[in-house]
Structure 1
Amino acid sequence: SSTTHVFATGRPSHCSLHAPWSIDMDLSRSATCTVAAVAVVCLMLPRPCAPAGDQLAVGELLLLGKSVVSDGGAFALGFFVPDDATPARQYLGIWYNNIPGRPTVVWVANRETPLFANRTSSSSGPAPALALANDSTLVLSGADGGVLWTSGVPSVGTSSSSSSAVLRNDGNLVVRSPNGTALWQSFDHPTDTLIPGMKVRMSHRTLRGDIFVSWKSPGDPAPGSFSYGVDPGTYIQLLLWNGTRPYWRSPVWTGIAVTTNYIGAGTVIYTAVVDTTEEISTAFTVSDGASPTRYVITSSGEFQVVSWNGTASAWATLDSWPGSSGCSRYGYCGAYGYCDVMAAACRCLDGFEPANAAEWSDGRFEQGCRRKEALPPCGVLDGEGFLPMPSMKVPDKFLLEGGNRSAEECAARCAANCSCVAYAYADLQSSSAKGEVSRCLVWVGDLVDTQMIGGRMAVNGETLYLRVAVAAAASRGIRRQPRKKCKQKRTENCAAGGSKCPDAHMHFLFMVLQAQRQGKKNQLNREPKQADRV
């Protein structure tokens, strides 16, 4: 097949190509020839075909040393040099226009194919440039005429000499049709930086989403080892990967539609989550008058939120994950261990103890923790319950139970299966657009990557209910109430935490365990076996 690129302009200026033309060939050669032809025509004219203001029209070239500035002056599009050691190596990118010093780049087009500006070419040959083809494709060509990068033909096909590429004041480069329809935008093709208005998305249908990838090094925009995006296995948490391995994990979404973080110095960050039938997405905005603020994945694997400090004329790191303690890295404290974020220390979940006390004392936590007291055999009607641990980032590897269950039904779901070791429940009525009103998570394997969180992240904490033996529960002062003092007819009052039934929730769960084990079907579709118990 062949691709036709035609460069023309509808602007009544002497930079116009009055006779549109085309060449049928593959994308690379076609784009090369058309860009070269435009360059030749422009070089013959009194002034170059340079873009004006905040946009690039068909037939105009963005050359080295030139830039397009957004209408409000916040961002610029042009060529930059990331490292003084190799000044000839240049990239097309978007950066903050009003931040002094070396450009703070938020988006890069040709990450893997730098433009070498020291290459020479004849005066009549092509010049390194960015151009917009009449099929609304952005094409970056080098000094030798080769195509270094293209935006690709928009999914909504159009061919018009009136299309334009506009750099908006939020930092989004948008190719739009004459009627204003967005045909392509840089926000849909992120690099390593998340700025206000950008989304981190995942499609429920394809399980594909936006992936942010770190630079290879501070001076090399090529893709690095670390990436960030929505977890395709669950869609309700975000992951930072090192290669293909999880490196850090966000708290699981608890259904809160908008969270507010007061950063200080007049900056407030609002984070919104939108869950529809098509996709789930998260984005952030900042308060009016706030300093430039962004999230970035560093080449060393830190996911940071930074804000510009005008007084110090430097970027200030407001928060960073996993953080310097190491405790927050994925699975650092081992199975059934958790990271106490505020203390920056590994601890065992309630009812558990270090599997190897000597290694634990030496700061080696790979073996994690083990139960202080084993659970009774499956089928025993007594001797265990659920112990609540509040303010937790719940573990990974959970099963998401649907069906808009109540808190009691979620508890029963776990209690009905001997393999279930924990559960967590959240109310989604305020945020989901899919008709879901609750979220029930259950765990049937090792509890890995758990944290007790505080500070600005405390709003994301939730209660994790651990299945433990009665003795372990009693060690925390939570005891099963004698059944004669809290009979079946008062179960509803107990479940609601009535004052006449102390530790009522714990008692209710013991009753659920008994009821479910007296013949109800295993709703997790797993045959309860002693070997499954942890």
Structure 2
Amino acid sequence: MERLPLFIFSFTCLFFISKFSVAIDTISPNQTITGGQTLVSADEIFELGFFSPGTSNKRYLGIWFKSILPQTVVWVANRNNPLTNSSGVLAIGGDGNIVLLNQTETIIWSSNSSSVPKNPVAQLLDSGNFVLREGNSGINPESYPWQSFDYPFDTVLPGMKLGANLRSGQNWYLTSWKSEDDPSPGDYTYKLDYRGLPQIVLRKGSDVQFRSDPWDWAGSGIPELYRNSIINPIFAFNEEDVYYSFENINKSSISRFVVTHSGSIQHIAWSDTRLEWVVVITLPKDSCDDYDICGTYGTCNININDQVCKCLKGFTPKSPAHYDAHDWSGGCVPRSPRMCGSGEGFRNFKQMKFPDKSSFKKNMLSMDCEAACLNNCSCVAYAKSGILGCIFWYGDLLDIREYSEGGRELYIRMAASELGKCFCISSEFSINSQVTMMG
């Protein structure tokens, strides 16, 4: 690894033999952070320094809430390369990047920005964002060559993003700690999937564990996790960005999202009266949140007592014996085989969680959605977007659930016989006369 020149290392160590006499939030090229020294944001909300998690003897550079005990770490720099003793030094290197050095003066972590300021400083902001910026300019998020908010680990704070910048390729997603004592990357990731409608997906390795309700360009279908009385959700879905962010309604309140090492997603808020973190909501919260629990064309309803899974109307279990035994993995199949071009239509299902693997087409009138799907034999379902656009599904539908309130309207392709349609032949000429019955 790269080494910081010895004379710079020696000078900076001498410069900080004693601890800071006053709290500061910024370091410049002639300053360092070592040992028990820390940076503290201007309003003393966040603190940056070295810590050892739990019972571990390893040391990491991290950011935590200054006034909250026990220590709650929200970001870690060297989670893949811990220090083995107390010799770590945080500095600005000769190339203008923020660097972390071990006892042999080897760089074990760097901001690694290809574009650095002429007069670089590193600053810890009251948002919890640790930024590299031009020392002669003010705080301007658009001009940061590097910021910790672009590299989240297990926590999302107000102002951070989950999603992607479609032009730069920047991705913002969460990775769990390996354990309470080990911040190295764990088994779980929480990442935005924007191949169709945006949805945030929890995975263990490559296996999907849970996915949120998707949302559209208008923010319709906001997932439950991201709407409550504590926060204002922020959704972006445009040509340049697709992401979720949030702000606290009460600016003085403290809340965060975290993916735990045990595989749950939590929205947590700090209680000033109880002096502890309070879990606002945890996902997955019930068996219907388990990914694809009911198989293809199966729908999950947690309010059904005897069995939560059933086949959608117009479908039947692929293996009735397995389905009755609560083994729903085989899913369901159409009761009447669909034959494209034979008078098929759509059944309307309400209060649904949209199936996985959607496809979104913008700039289409809602009245055109049905015709577009009907004229494509591969299209098995459609929905209308909150604004000009249509949502389509191709292939088997999976991971559907039914809500007692809320949810969306989904139109699923059915054989004519399932919709109560008959086809009459006139004695003078052939016509297809469809009589639609309620059902």
Alignment TM class, shorter chain as reference? 0.7 to 0.9
Structure 2 Cα separation of the partners of residues 398 and 67 of structure 1: 47
Deviations 1:415-458 (A, max 9, x none): 11233211111023xxxxxxxxx231222211011122457xx3
- For residue 360 of structure 1, the aligned residue among 320, 323, 344 is 323
- For residue 92 of structure 2, the aligned residue among 124, 132, 141 is 132
Letter paired with 2:82: P
> 1:53-72 maps to which residues of 2 (within 5 A)?
53-72=24-43
1:179 aligned residue: 137
Quote how far apart the aligned CAs of 1:260 are. 10
TM-score (norm 1): 0.72
Deviations 1:264-309 (A, max 9, x none): 9x95211111233222222111111563111111112111111123
> 1:43-442 maps to which residues of 2 (within 5 A)?
47=18, 52-84=23-55, 86=56, 88-101=57-70, 103-117=71-85, 127-133=87-93, 135-153=95-113, 155-160=114-119, 163-177=120-134, 178-180=136-138, 181-205=143-167, 208-234=170-196, 236-257=198-219, 267-288=229-250, 291-323=253-285, 325-341=286-302, 345-375=308-338, 377-380=339-342, 382=343, 384-402=344-362, 404-428=363-387, 438-442=388-392
1:171/1:366 Cα in 2 relative to 1: closer, same or farther (>3 Å)? same
Quote how far apart the aligned CAs of 1:247 are. 2.2
Quote how far apart the aligned CAs of 1:135 are. 3.7
TM-score (norm 2): 0.86
Deviations 1:297-347 (A, max 9, x none): 111211111112333333222212223x33312222111112225559223
> Does the CA contact (< 8 Å) of 1:170 and 1:197 recur in 2?
yes
Structure 1 Cα separation of the partners of residues 212 and 34 of structure 2: 42
Structure 2 Cα separation of the partners of residues 31 and 173 of structure 1: 21
Structure 2 Cα separation of the partners of residues 260 and 394 of structure 1: 11
Letter paired with 1:449: D
Quote how far apart the aligned CAs of 1:235 are. 6.0
Letter paired with 1:169: D
Letter paired with 1:422: A
Quote how far apart the aligned CAs of 1:158 are. 2.6
1:319/1:34 Cα in 2 relative to 1: closer, same or farther (>3 Å)? farther
Q: Secondary structure at the match of 2:236?
A: strand
Structure 1 Cα separation of the partners of residues 209 and 90 of structure 2: 37
Q: Secondary structure at the match of 1:319?
A: strand
Quote how far apart the aligned CAs of 1:168 are. 1.0
> Does the CA contact (< 8 Å) of 1:261 and 1:269 recur in 2?
no
> Does the CA contact (< 8 Å) of 1:425 and 1:439 recur in 2?
yes
Structure 2 Cα separation of the partners of residues 352 and 143 of structure 1: 66
Structure 1 Cα separation of the partners of residues 84 and 404 of structure 2: 48
Identity over aligned residues, as a percent? 32
Unaligned runs of 5+ in 2: 425-434
1:369/1:208 Cα in 2 relative to 1: closer, same or farther (>3 Å)? farther
Letter paired with 1:172: N
Deviations 1:166-188 (A, max 9, x none): 11111111111022342211101
Quote how far apart the aligned CAs of 1:40 are. 4.3
Larger displacement relative to structure 2 (181-190 or 233-242):
233-242
Structure 1 Cα separation of the partners of residues 121 and 167 of structure 2: 32
Q: Tell me how large the CA RMSD over aligned residues is.
A: 3.0
1:147/1:292 Cα in 2 relative to 1: closer, same or farther (>3 Å)? same
> Does the CA contact (< 8 Å) of 1:393 and 1:453 recur in 2?
yes
1:29 aligned residue: 2
Deviations 1:221-244 (A, max 9, x none): 000111122215336222222212
Structure 1 Cα separation of the partners of residues 284 and 4 of structure 2: 43
Quote how far apart the aligned CAs of 1:93 are. 0.7
1:525 aligned residue: none
1:203/1:409 Cα in 2 relative to 1: closer, same or farther (>3 Å)? same
1:6 aligned residue: none
Letter paired with 2:259: I
Structure 2 Cα separation of the partners of residues 254 and 275 of structure 1: 7
Structure 2 Cα separation of the partners of residues 50 and 182 of structure 1: 28
2:408 aligned residue: 462
Structure 1 Cα separation of the partners of residues 98 and 3 of structure 2: 13
Quote how far apart the aligned CAs of 1:90 are. 1.3
> Does the CA contact (< 8 Å) of 2:163 and 2:171 recur in 1?
yes
1:275/1:399 Cα in 2 relative to 1: closer, same or farther (>3 Å)? closer
- For residue 38 of structure 1, the aligned residue among 11, 26, 31 is 11
Structure 1 Cα separation of the partners of residues 243 and 320 of structure 2: 43
Larger radius of gyration: 1
Deviations 1:61-114 (A, max 9, x none): 111212211111211111121122x2x21111111112112x111111000111
Letter paired with 1:140: L
> Does the CA contact (< 8 Å) of 1:70 and 1:167 recur in 2?
yes
Quote how far apart the aligned CAs of 1:55 are. 1.6
Deviations 1:99-138 (A, max 9, x none): 112x1111110001111226xxxxxxxx421112354311
Deviations 1:9-42 (A, max 9, x none): xxxxxxxxxxxxxxxxxxx333364652334432
1:529 aligned residue: none
